Structure 1
Amino acid sequence: MPSVLDLAPVVPVVVIEDAADAVPLARALVAGGLPAIEVTLRTPAALDAIRAIAADVPDAVIGAGTVISSGGVGAAVAAGARFLVSPGWTERLLDAMKASGVPFLPGVSTTSEVVALLERGVSEMKFFPAEAAGGTAYLTSLAGPLPQARFCPTGGISLASAPSYLGLGNVGCVGGTWMVPADAIASKDWARVEALAAEAASLRGRP
């Protein structure tokens, strides 16, 4: 599997309350050009949603987000997650993600965390919460001393701000929620989700 950072310019970050929504939602995102989908482990339906997408939407690259424990790593991979994303990391969590056999993006928000991951042989990470932690200015400042680190910034990023992130050399993709608005999911407006996904999939970095 290619790097998660290279699958699409945007990774939808999805909160699913009803597992019955998982397959039509994933199909809409894939049809719009966003195959990598992060289902957050924030709801009781999350693992069932991952399981359903893994079984019924073969073109989706389904991942689990908000992975914060070794137990969460195991449960997500058992459900069919093909990548893992955490908002932060500890040594125990990192060990579990490394042992999982699937790609992972541990979350960082400080230079020391980036250096510690590089020391452990991890060069691809999630920058979270991106806007609150310094945004594009912070990532630009990391590129000089730490050029080997690549990021998926997530947290507060919008359709308007995404191109500024995607224009940075150390950013492979961004994570966002704007293409999966809660009201569209609640009303099962999958056509709207597909249209928003297509708009996001067409994004490229600003020169």
Structure 2
Amino acid sequence: MTLTAQDASKRTREICALAPIVPVLVIEDATHARALAEALVAGGLPALEVTLRTPAALEAISAMAEVSGGHVGAGTLVTPDDVRAAKRAGATFGVSPGATDALIAACEEEDLPLLPGAATASEAMQLLARGYDMLKFFPAEASGGAPALKAISAPLPQITFCPTGGVSPGNAESYLSLPNVLCAGGSWVAPKGLIDAQDWAGIEDLAREAAKLGGAA
């Protein structure tokens, strides 16, 4: 059965509500994927976005999909082929930097809930008209940051965002304090150096600190 936009936003909203930070992961070596996911989930960040920017991404998604308590999604979805490959790999949601009719249609056909990207009020309104009210604000800092999202909340209070792009421990609270922000995407919880060193305890510690942001327990 084809996924509706309303159901897609409901399901992505439920995933986004699991923790204040969604780790944005660039994985070069799929053999690290399972241990990385286990560390992030143990630290309190169960929703994981694996970006389709490396040859190892799809294999990493498959490995992470087996981790208990985790919800692995595919990021950087750009084409319908990306959507189909992510679904086959085991992704339970998708994230895109923007949105096209073809991409949205593919996600609905594949029953893959999508967090579509928007950077302007017009883009957000177009997605809202299609039934999507849980959006990614990207690139967040380059698009005006928290002040821009605060301004958007006045005329478009029915839309909720997950800002991604330039979000850091230093500015995350400014986003998470906004009424129209449910969570934020961040890459700092899984830095390349710690992944390469297989320092899973260090990543778990970073995840635990990130899970406390925004007043979360």
Paired residues, what number? 205
Q: What secondary structure is seen at the aligned counterpart in 2 of 1:43? A: coil
After superposition, give the CA deviation of every residue in 1:1-56 in whole Å (9 maximum; x if it has no partner).
5622211100000000000000000000001000000000000000000001112x
Equivalent residue number for residue 135 of structure 2: 125
Equivalent residue number for residue 64 of structure 2: 53
Equivalent residue number for residue 39 of structure 2: 28
Equivalent residue number for residue 195 of structure 1: 205
Equivalent residue number for residue 180 of structure 1: 190
The offset of 1:111, in angstroms, is 0.8
Equivalent residue number for residue 78 of structure 1: 88
Structure 1: stretches of 5+ with no match in the other structure: none
Q: What secondary structure is seen at the aligned counterpart in 2 of 1:180? A: coil
Tell me if the contact between 1:143 and 1:170 (Cα under 8 Å) persists in the aligned partners.
yes
The offset of 1:94, in angstroms, is 1.4
Q: CA–CA distance in 1 between the matches of 2:132 and 2:215?
A: 24
Q: CA–CA distance in 2 between the matches of 1:205 and 1:168?
A: 12
Structure 2: stretches of 5+ with no match in the other structure: 1-10
Equivalent residue number for residue 174 of structure 2: 164
Equivalent residue number for residue 147 of structure 2: 137
Q: CA–CA distance in 1 between the matches of 2:136 and 2:185?
A: 9
After superposition, give the CA deviation of every residue in 1:149-174 in whole Å (9 maximum; x if it has no partner).
11000000101110110000000100
TM-score, normalised via structure 1 length = 0.96
After superposition, give the CA deviation of every residue in 1:73-100 in whole Å (9 maximum; x if it has no partner).
0110111101100011111111112222
Q: CA–CA distance in 2 between the matches of 1:133 and 1:100?
A: 31
1:154 paired residue among 152, 164, 188: 164
After superposition, give the CA deviation of every residue in 1:96-139 in whole Å (9 maximum; x if it has no partner).
12222132111110111001001101101100000000111110
**One-letter amino acid of the counterpart of residue 171, structure 2:** S
The runs of at least 4 consecutive aligned structure 1 residues that moved more than 3 Å come to none
Q: CA–CA distance in 1 between the matches of 2:127 and 2:181?
A: 16
**One-letter amino acid of the counterpart of residue 21, structure 2:** V
- RMSD of aligned Cα (Å): 1.3
Q: CA–CA distance in 1 between the matches of 2:171 and 2:30?
A: 30
Query: Percent identity of the aligned residues?
Result: 55
**One-letter amino acid of the counterpart of residue 100, structure 1:** E
The offset of 1:205, in angstroms, is 5.5
Equivalent residue number for residue 108 of structure 1: 118
2:79 paired with 1:40:
no
Q: CA–CA distance in 1 between the matches of 2:97 and 2:108?
A: 16
**One-letter amino acid of the counterpart of residue 75, structure 1:** A
